[in-house]
Amino acid sequence: MDIKRTRIVDLLKRTDFGQQVLVKGWVRTRRGSKAVSFIALNDGSTIKNVQIVADLDKFGEELMKQITTGACLSVTGTMVESIGSGQAVEIQASEIEVLGTCGDDYPMQKKGQSFEYMRQHAHMRLRTNTFGAVMRIRHNMAFAIHQYFHNHGFYYFHTPLITASDCEGAGQMFQVTTLDLQRVAKSGKVDYDQDFFGKPASLTVSGQLEGELGATALGAIYTFGPTFRAENSNTPRHLAEFWMIEPEIAFMDLVELMDLEEDFLKFCINWALEHCQDDLEFLNNMVDKGLIERLKSVANTEFVRLPYSKGIEILQDAIAKGRKFEFPCNWGDDLASEHERYLVEEYFKKPVIMTNYPKAIKAFYMKIDAEKPMCMGKQQEETVQGTDVLFPQIGEIIGGSVREENYDKLMSEIESRGIPMKDMWWYLDTRRFGSCPHAGFGLGFERLMLFVTGMQNIRDVIAFPRTPRTAEF
């Protein structure tokens, strides 16, 4: 009788001992004596291994020699109650087939390799406990995000990856071209007429502008897709290719936006606590002892809502009392991550939603506040209804804003910043034809993953990281 393969995650829940079962997976470890071998087999469905007990007189030496760390096996046997394996179930093997042997140059053979070593072998690191856990959590977080927005009446909206507009205006775009660069270099000039799109085109830094078209038609949308930034920042928080979630909602104001950001993040964190227990426990033991505690605390705490000007006053007060920072933080400065972390980790000890930033340090599309703020006893320049959600360990996890819906005000921002108008006409049409108040935000998926897994480097929460000078696997 042919039996169907059982996934290890399902097998470990069963109690119908005595049944014949079939499992397939990769050898994690093998130990034993002259008479019997214990093989820890993992198939990726769970962090847990199943123990295979193989009596050596039943299997020839030839076969046993091939059962090394990393080899792929198909095992048939009897499911028995286990005493010593750490699981309730083990398999007394009756048949073992080696589907794929594994040479002793297998890069994941040794336990306890550094994360740097793992990155150099990113094509194989997925088979380790840590990266298995991270990837399963990543799937669960993606699922949670779709669940949340679907439950709340948002439509999943696909925005283009190739675009001609620089949404954030930071000039960090990867150009997309079919022009032959050697020939261009020889001729000494670029003729975009000859290029694929007949004009310069790039990979998108954000789906927001197209998302606004979606929201002003469907009411509420969200995007969830790859985003590209050619910023040359080799930090543990930046990728050149990352995934972003961007909801955009018609008729939403600043308070509702902050409510949404907070509710959404808490939903995702609670989802992980509920659905990724085994993997979180593993990461909590092996990577970050404070992880589960921190997740629970953030899920159960009210986020602080802090106007930028108030934040500056807190920071200046700390400086006056002797706290040292590397970078200055006067009104008008973009806060450095040391400032953000001071506010979140030391001062408030909880997530902070910072709002009402100086207009000059934020993107052109943010709605301008009606009044100029007071800070350090002085009236300051114009501010905008932008929100950054700042998290412990991470810094900025979300950037969002209410959008400027007034055509004239938006135009004047576009002009004063010298943004090429001819690329923007379609976006401006939203403000000409039935313009409406609206708001949205962008969550960096890998930043969320950093928080939820306790991993320290953003390169370790995406399977194949893209950073300056690395695109190997």
Shortest Cβ distance from residue 133 to ligand 4AD (Å)? 21
Burial 18-36 (b: 16+ CB within 10 A, else e): eeebbbbbbbbebeeeeee
241 binds, among Mg ion, ligand 4AD, none (CB under 5 to 8 A by kind): none
Q: Is 399 in the site for Mg ion (CB under 5 A)?
A: yes
Q: Are 459 and 225 in contact (CB under 8 A)?
A: no
211 binds Mg ion (CB under 5 A): no
Name the residue nearer to ligand 4AD (CB basis): 90 or 405.
405
Report residue 311: phi and psi, to 5°: -60, -45
| 444, 451, 459, 461: residue in contact with ligand 4AD (rule CB under 6 A) | 444
399 touches ligand 4AD by CB under 6 A:
yes
Q: In whole angstroms, how close is the CB of 448 to ligand 4AD at the nearest point? A: 8
Residue 358, interface with Mg ion (CB under 5 A)? no
Considering only 222, 242, 347, 427, the residue that binds ligand 4AD (CB under 6 A) is: 242
Q: What's the CA gap between 409 and 424, in Å, rounded?
A: 15
- 465 near Mg ion, judged by CB under 5 A: no
Which CB, 341 or 447, lies closer to ligand 4AD?
447
For residue 361, the minimal CB distance to ligand 4AD (Å) is 12
* Smallest distance from Mg ion to CB 366, Å: 11
Residue 330: what residue type? N
Q: Least distance to ligand 4AD from the beta carbon of 162, Å?
A: 17
Side chain identity, residue 34 = K
Which residue, 279 or 388, is less far from ligand 4AD as judged by CB? 388
From the list 154, 157, 282, 441, which residue makes contact with ligand 4AD (rule: CB under 6 A)?
Answer: 441
Contact of 19 with 79, CB cutoff 8 Å? yes
- What is the arrangement of strands in the sheet containing 175-176, beginning at the earlier edge strand? 162-163, 201-203, 175-176
Q: Does 132 bind Mg ion (CB under 5 A)?
A: no
16 touches 56 (CB < 8 A):
no
Binding region for ligand 4AD (CB under 6 A) out of 104-112, 192-200, 267-275, 436-444: 436-444
Q: How far apart are CA 416 and CA 249, in angstroms?
A: 27
Provide the minimum distance between the beta carbon of 444 and Mg ion in the complex, in angstroms, as a whole number: 9
**From the list ligand 4AD, Mg ion, none, partner contacted by residue 167 (C-beta under 5 to 8 A by kind):** ligand 4AD
Q: Does 440 bind ligand 4AD (CB under 6 A)?
A: yes
Classified as helix, coil or strand, 427 is: helix
Q: Distance between CA 54 and CA 95 in Å, rounded?
A: 9
The string of DSSP letters for 34-85 reads: SSEEEEEEE-SSSS--EEEEEETTTS-HHHHHH--TT-EEEEEEEEEE-SSS
Q: Work out how close the CB of 355 gets to Mg ion at its nearest, in angstroms, rounded to a whole number.
A: 13
- From 55-63, 241-249, 358-366, 398-406, give the range in contact with Mg ion by CB under 5 A: 398-406
Question: Which does residue 49 bind out of ligand 4AD, Mg ion, none, counting CB within 5 to 8 angstroms by kind?
Answer: none
Cα distances (Å, whole numbers) of residue 113 to 22, 117, 118, 291, 460: 32, 6, 7, 21, 14
Contact 87, 51 (CB under 8 A): yes
Q: Cβ contacts of residue 139 below 8 Å, gap of 6+?
A: none
Which span sits near Mg ion by CB under 5 A: 53-61, 259-267, 394-402, 410-418? 394-402
Query: Residue 183 Cβ, how far from ligand 4AD at the closest point, in Å?
Result: 32
* Contacts of 326-333 spanning 24+ positions with Cβ under 8 A: 331/358, 331/375, 331/376, 331/378, 331/380, 332/358, 332/360, 332/361, 332/380, 332/381, 333/361
Residues in CB range of 16: below 8 A, 6 or more apart: 79
**Contact between 355 and ligand 4AD (CB under 6 A)?**
no
Considering only residues 151 to 170 of the shown chain, the ones binding ligand 4AD according to CB under 6 A are 167-168
Instruction: Examine residue 229 and tell whether it contacts ligand 4AD (CB under 6 A).
Output: yes
What would the two tokens of residue 395 be? 């810094």
Per CB under 6 A, contacts with ligand 4AD among 195-224 are 206, 208
Should residue 404 be labelled a site residue for ligand 4AD when binding is judged by CB under 6 A? no
In the complex, which residues of this chain contact ligand 4AD (CB under 6 A)? 167-168, 206, 208, 229, 231, 238-239, 242, 244, 246, 396-401, 440-442, 444, 446-447
In the complex, which residues of this chain contact Mg ion (CB under 5 A)? 399
